[in-house]
Structure 1
Amino acid sequence: MNSGTALDHLSPDLARGIAALGLDAGTLTPPLMQYLALLHKWNGTYNLTAIRDPADMIPKHLLDSLSILPHMQSGALADLGTGPGLPGIPVALARPDIQVSLVESNGKKARFMREAIRVLKLRNARVVEARIEAVDEPGAYTQITARALATLSEILAFGGHLLAPEGRLLAMKARTTEVEAEALPAGWVVEARHVLAVPGLAADRELVVVRRGA
């Protein structure tokens, strides 16, 4: 798959970051460059993300999304409030064993993701254009993700019903979760907190894993 875009000069930077995460840069770089080019193009018209520079999108969007892969399981994933498909689309590209539902209520972002899925020929991703709490698929997912969406309690209030009994919430955070963890609703506990080392990104990042309590 050849990206063939004006952003090809960024391809080595992306490839180095992918390799630093221990992933296959040869396989992942071309489709992720296609996604980056689409995101940059659409962003000029539809304001899909506040990050305007595609060079900044590589660490802040693409590599950040890929950094959670070691902590993900096979099966069904709901990416809540995914925006333009982050982390869901990079995850779907890297892990064909994960079936990704991209949950987003914003029509422009949903249209962009449908086009990205078409262009990238992603067979393991679909768009669910709806508010999170309105998704009527109780217990259908082994995991849900949320990236800078809301507090842990709010994420569970919106989307906890989507998780299977043994399912997990994987919340991407800026290492500010001490208070949030203490405020979890009854029946939910923090299972683990993983520091995320994102190549090219100096910000503190962590993945908080939440499950139902015993």
Structure 2
Amino acid sequence: MAIDTTGFVKIAAQLPHLADILAQAIQSLGLSLDHNQQRQLLLYLDQLLLWNKAYNLTAITEPKEALIKHVIDCLAIITHLPAGALLDIGTGAGLPAVIIAICQPERQCSALDSNQKKIRFIKQVSSEIGLHNVQPIAARIEAHEGQYDVVTSRAFASLTDFVLAAEPKLAASGHLCAMKGKAPTIEELQALDQQWQIDTIKLTVPGLDDSRHLIELFKIG
């Protein structure tokens, strides 16, 4: 798929190659994204790398690696997400919130992080790529008011910590969705399974050999 290089700075020279990798990943994940959405994903990657130093966004600076480990990694959860308004806790550079918002323009996505710089980047990139369904919020989760159908995170080391932080923001019948590398341990699951129905989904991320899982939790009763 040919992508117009207008507006690209950091990845312009590698654009055809990166666009091919992205298109193949989208197909392999069973997603249906039009030309404009694919362009938005690549523009997001370009902006992420362009503003990385100023905003301290990612340790990954090589475009293909950043495409796979950030963009395609987040694309792998899209088909598994329940419907409804979404809050992404500890969103950082907008991962997965911005990626979800690009793929699902009908969904309202709130991207929350206590780091003001990273929230400024999300505001800037959303404006730059024409994204209207992202609300960037600079706050600690405890200070944020709101109830959401879906609460996601890619940042929490501990599943228990994520559940404790996210549960107060969850609407009735809502789902928590935690992106993890390794599957949770039996101890982690046992600490939660009295109150939560837990579904561990093994993800395959095109181009990535590392283990990836999405943990979905739904309150029992």
After TM superposition, the score normalised by the length of structure 2 is 0.89
CA–CA separation in structure 1 for the residues paired with 2:171 and 2:55: 35
| Pairing 1:122–2:131 present | yes
CA–CA separation in structure 2 for the residues paired with 1:194 and 1:185: 16
> Corresponding residue for 1:57?
66
Structure 1 residues 123-132 or 179-188, which shifts more?
179-188
> Corresponding residue for 2:155?
148
CA–CA separation in structure 2 for the residues paired with 1:16 and 1:22: 10
Q: What number of residue pairs does the alignment pair up?
A: 211
Q: 4+ residue runs of structure 1 moved beyond 6 angstroms?
A: none
**Cα displacement (A) at 1:186:** 5.5
CA–CA separation in structure 2 for the residues paired with 1:3 and 1:100: 28
User: Contact conserved, 1:80 with 1:144, CA < 8 A, in 2?
Assistant: yes
Q: Which amino acid counterpart does residue 187 of structure 1 have in structure 2?
A: Q
Select which of 61, 73, 91 maps to 2:100: 91
> Corresponding residue for 2:80?
71
> Corresponding residue for 1:204?
211
1:97-176 superposed matches below 5 A: 97-137=106-146, 140-176=147-183
| CA offset digits 1:137-177 (Å, max 9, x no partner) | 1xx21111011323121012112111011101011111230
Q: Which amino acid counterpart does residue 172 of structure 1 have in structure 2?
A: M
CA–CA separation in structure 2 for the residues paired with 1:99 and 1:23: 19
Give the 3-state SS of the residue equivalent to 1:148 in structure 2. coil
Identity %: 36
Distance 1:107 1:61, change over 3 A: same
Alpha-carbon RMSD: 1.7
Give the 3-state SS of the residue equivalent to 1:29 in structure 2. helix
Query: What stretches of structure 1 of length at least 5 have no aligned partner?
Result: none
**Cα displacement (A) at 1:37:** 0.5
> Corresponding residue for 2:29?
21
CA–CA separation in structure 2 for the residues paired with 1:47 and 1:211: 34
> Corresponding residue for 2:191?
183
